[in-house]
Structure 1
Amino acid sequence: MINIFYNLLLWLILPLLVPYHAYRSLSRGRRTAFMERFGRIPAEELELIGDGGVVFVHAVSVGETNAALPLLKGIRQRFPGKKIVISNVTETGRSVAQKSKAADLCIYFPFDFPFAVRSVLETIRPEVVVIMETEIWPNFIGVAREMGIPVLLANGRISDRSFGRYLRLSWFFRPVLQRLSALCMQTPVDAERIAAIGAPAAAVHVGGNLKYDIPVVKATPGQVAEIKAKYQVPTGCFVFTAASTHEGEEAQVLSAYRDLLARDPQSFLILAPRHPERAPGVAELIKKEGFPFQFRSALDGSGPLPAGGILLLDTVGELAGLYRASDLVFVGGSLVATGGHNPLEPAACQVPVLFGPHMENFREIAALFIKHCGAEVQPADLTGLKAELLRLSADAALREELGRRGAGILLESAGATDRHLNVMASLLGQGGTRG
């Protein structure tokens, strides 16, 4: 009965989905996107995976895709004969997946209509499906189960904020969770929560957080110089990067930057909105505040931008490189109530990190940063952010120490990839083979 109502709702919204996604696909020159969302993959794309065994990995957007990269690398190493297909929902997620070159084929995840799901799975016929974090699509999981394709929920987490909602809707989620072959949750708390919602306890594993398994690499002075030249970042400046910012945060970051310039005019800000399509609106705010700036997409290689200016990142997939040329990084989504973003990516570059009070989606990671680096890494508000920015900008030795401690969190917490691959190994061979 639940499934009937769910599918009825999908059919009711179909008339809205078709024109909207047809327009987006055509207006952005991505004709195949519309076909893929409805389960049709062009033959020329399928040639990229041949007729061998396939591992299908779904990562909804940028964060999930970045978290999946260590796992994709591990699949390559442990199962070298397998082809990898990765699907995304967002355009930014797909862009990151394509630039990473970690998969043989990148596609858009199908809408959760049974006909679209079945078309994709019958075309690719994966040996195993891996769904990153807590993407629960009833028809996709159900059709895979009917076809004998095992489904692994990887890097699963249930946030404090969403747990109560999941519990209230456990009547809906329990039948779906029961169809999963295995669930690798990040922490024991996440494992307990997913079992309470309805997952079979015997299928639940504590796999750890894949986001800890990114390599720790500190850029050499030569590499830093090369990155700065590429992005026209002035040399000799203190480089402050505000990453993955949301509406309401850019104004606070600019206020903090103004205070920094008042004390040290030889500073430079790299500002990266979480959603690049917001860049024009952020640019208007920067103009209003009177700062010189340049869009990343408009850099012309003519030489360094001025000290006291701003590089506004309006592209996807370049932030990780800019972390390596930064002296301090603030991770956004945390001064406003959106749950925060991942501070491990800049920490892997041995760069000191700050984040605000709203880190509900990364509670475990935030707690480790506070434990290893001190409570100061999490200023409670704009006043605290300003104080830490001024303190750290004036103390290179402290920045070096905090960068080392942050990188140590990754080194001490690594190992999730191997645990996930062990579970995946037990599932491989149970699914289909293309022919």
Structure 2
Amino acid sequence: MRHGPFHDWRNVVYLLYDLLLILAGLGLIPYYLLRGLKYGKSRRGIRDRLGLYAAGHLAPLDGRKVIWVHAVSVGETRAAVPLLEGLRRAHPDHAIVLSNVTETGHSIAAELDCVDLCLFFPFDISVVIRRVLGRIRPELIVLVETEIWPNFVRLAHRRGIPVALVNGRISDRSYPRYKRFRRLLRPILDCIELYAMQTELDAERIHDLGAGRDRIGVSGNLKFDMGSPVFETGETDLFRTRLGLVPEQVLLVAGSTHDGEEELLVQAYRACLESNPGFRLMLVPRHPERTPEVAGMITQAGLETRLRSQCEGLPLDAETILIGDTLGEMLKFYDLADIVFVGGSLVPVGGHNILEASLLQKPVLFGPHMNNFREISRLVLFARGGRQVNDLSDLVRVLNEMLAHPEQRERMGRAGKALLDRHAGATDRSLELLSVLLERRG
């Protein structure tokens, strides 16, 4: 006797999940249309997310086996670059597909020569995922960090497509929440054939949530393998001139900032200007759409703003704060910086990747809320490649100290880069684990 579709409680859960996503999509589609119009990708982004690819869009995949790598946003995409390059070298006949959720991540992905096709990740609705998997037909799916979408994972598994998680991590903040839904998570985790986790603690946590120990390995953190971008001296000088900066000015670039942080950074800037008239500040909000809000706050503080998108080379005076309102230029901003502050850390967001500053040999500052990057922040502090500040007064004190001692800034930058060099190797370990899955598939 055949069981009805609702015999298994999980079918009911997936049905409810689909319904919730469909309802959410009624609001998300207009949202993505508005964002896409701003960044010039409106129709393309929505079509990708619905799995409705234009004629010829998937042509780079014709007649080729496919490896699909998914990285949610900028940080995960940059971390995945050495892995993508390694997959290209090891499997030159395969087509490499890279998908992202955010426009910022997609803008980085579109610049990569090692990728054959960049897509926006589809809505995780069963009918959409079935359509997408049927069109792309990947031989292997690689998820970067904790991008586990239930329908995507289970329907790929049902088609016999191996799914691997690389650079896996379970943050201090996420772990208790995941544990509450362990019963729902376990069937999804059973569909993933490989977990290449960053640390032993991450490995223990994913096992506690339901992943089989025989599927778990510790590969290290891909972020330590990021390749240094090459900026020509002339290009950097031209960019600095375009922003209105002169060599004797000392620039603090505050990247990936969130609501509540920009105001503290502006206050710290004004406090440091008293004894450091050559000090300048650039704010780069994590979400560019917050630019008007950030600019309004600066104006209320009695200062002026200059948008990176509107810079015309006019000298940057002490009363003007730069705002990075463009996509995909964070490393260019960091390259100009004398000091880097990484946001999401003075407010309880969990922090962002501080190794991007170390990659460019820049001294990095960050706040106390680094639970998403607990191991990285510990290593950077131990290596003396960065400083942690607890609040506004601490930030002012440390900035004044670093502004007064350029040799300290240079020493911290070198120490951060040396840390990266010492911990490299996660890419090779991850590639070895992935090669086993591909051989098994073959």
TM bucket normalised to smaller? over 0.9
Report the AA paired with residue 154 of structure 2: G
For 2:4, the equivalent position in structure 1 comes to: none
The residue number in structure 1 matching 2:171 is 159
| Higher alpha-carbon deviation: 356-365 or 213-222 | 213-222
- Report the CA distance between 1:220 and its aligned residue: 7.4
For 1:110, the equivalent position in structure 2 comes to: 122
Letter in 2 for 1:104: D
Give, as a single letter, the amino acid of the residue that structure 2 aligns with 1:172: L
| Cα distance, 1:106 vs structure 2 | 1.2
**Partner of residue 426, structure 1:** 436
Counterpart position of 2:332: 321
Q: For 1:180, what is the secondary structure of its paired residue?
A: coil
Asked whether the 8 Å contact 2:380–2:416 carries over to 1, the reply is yes
Does 2:379 align with 1:379? no
1:216, 1:410 within 8 Å by CA — same for their partners in 2? no
Deviations 1:330-389 (A, max 9, x none): 111000000001100011000100100000000000101111117x70011111111111
TM-score, normalization: structure 1? 0.94
- Shift in alpha-carbon separation, 1:364–1:321, aligned structure 2, 3 A: same
3-state SS of the aligned residue for 1:244? strand
* Residue equivalent to 2:5: none
Match of 2:19 in 1: 11
1:21-45 CA-to-partner distances (Å, cap 9, x unmatched) read 0563377252132222222222321
Q: How far apart are residue 307 of structure 1 and its match?
A: 4.4
CA RMSD across the alignment: 2.0
Q: Distance in 2 between matches of 1:390 and 1:175?
A: 53
- What does 1:121-136 correspond to in 2, within 5 Å? 121-136=133-148
Q: Which moved more, 1:78-87 or 1:209-218?
A: 209-218
Seen in structure 2, the aligned counterparts of structure 1 residues 101 and 286 have a Cα distance that, compared at 3 Å, is farther
**Partners in 2 of 1:378 and 1:111 — Cα distance?**
38
Q: Secondary structure at the match of 2:148?
A: coil
Say how many residue pairs are matched.
430
Which secondary structure state, in structure 1, belongs to the residue aligned with residue 274 of structure 2? Answer: helix
For 1:188-227, what aligned pairs fall within 5 Å after superposition?
188-216=200-228, 222=234, 224-227=236-239
Tell whether the 8 Å contact from 1:128 to 1:151 is kept in structure 2 after alignment: yes
Which secondary structure does the structure 2 equivalent of 1:44 belong to? coil
Instruction: Please say if residues 150 and 188 of structure 2, whose CA atoms lie closer than 8 Å, have aligned partners that are also in contact.
Output: yes
Q: Which runs of 5+ in 2 are unaligned?
A: 1-8
Asked if structure 2 preserves the Cα contact closer than 8 Å seen for 1:270 and 1:310, the reply is yes
Taking structure 1 as reference, are residues 224 and 94 closer, same or farther at Cα in structure 2, changes over 3 Å only? closer
Which whole-Å CA distance do the structure 1 matches of 2:48 and 2:231 have between them? 39
**1:391-410 alignment, distance < 5 Å:** 391-410=401-420
- Mapped pair 1:119 → 2:127: no
Matched, 1:142 2:154: yes
Alignment of 1:259-274 (within 5 A): 259-274=271-286
- Using the TM superposition, give the Cα deviation of residue 73 of structure 1 relative to its aligned residue in structure 2, in angstroms: 1.8
Contact 2:334 2:340 in 1 (8 A): yes
Distance 1:15 1:215, change over 3 A: closer
Range moving further from structure 2, 8-17 or 109-118? 8-17
Relative to structure 1, the CA distance from residue 194 to residue 431 in structure 2 (aligned partners, 3 Å threshold; closer, same or farther) is same
Closer, same or farther: CA 36–242 of 1 in aligned 2, 3 Å: same
Stretches of 4+ moved more than 3 A in 1?
99-102, 216-224, 429-432
Greater Cα offset, 122-131 or 306-315: 306-315
Residue 388 in structure 1 maps to residue 398 in structure 2:
yes
Which whole-Å CA distance do the structure 1 matches of 2:99 and 2:428 have between them?
A: 22
**Alignment-derived partner of residue 58 in structure 2:** 46
**Secondary structure of the structure 2 residue equivalent to 1:25:** helix
Mapped to 2, the partners of 1:312 and 1:186 lie a distance apart of 34
Q: Output one character per residue of 1:219-244: Cα deviation in whole Å (capped at 9) or x when no partner.
A: 67655423312433333201111111
Q: 1:32 to 1:218 in 2, by over 3 A?
A: closer
Residue aligned with 1:158, SS: coil
| Aligned amino acid, residue 340 of structure 2 | V
Ranges in structure 1 where 5+ consecutive residues have no aligned partner = none
**Residues in 1 aligned to 2:240 and 2:11: alpha-carbon distance in whole angstroms:** 54
Counterpart of 1:58 in structure 2 is: 70
Q: TM-score, normalising length from structure 2?
A: 0.92
| Residues 23 and 331 (structure 1), Cα distance of their counterparts in 2 relative to 1, 3 Å cut | closer
CA deviation map 1:33-62 (0-9, x unaligned): 222222222232111333212110111122
- Take 2:67 and 2:233, find their aligned partners in 1: how far apart are those partners? 39
Instruction: Give the Å deviation of 1:187.
Output: 0.3
Shift of residue 431, structure 1, vs aligned partner: 5.1
| RCO higher in structure (CA 8 A, sep ≥6) | 1
| Counterpart for residue 296 of structure 2 | 284
Is the contact made by 2:22 and 2:125 (CA closer than 8 Å) also made in structure 1?
no
SS at match of 2:164: strand
8 A Cα contact 2:78 2:226, kept in partner: no
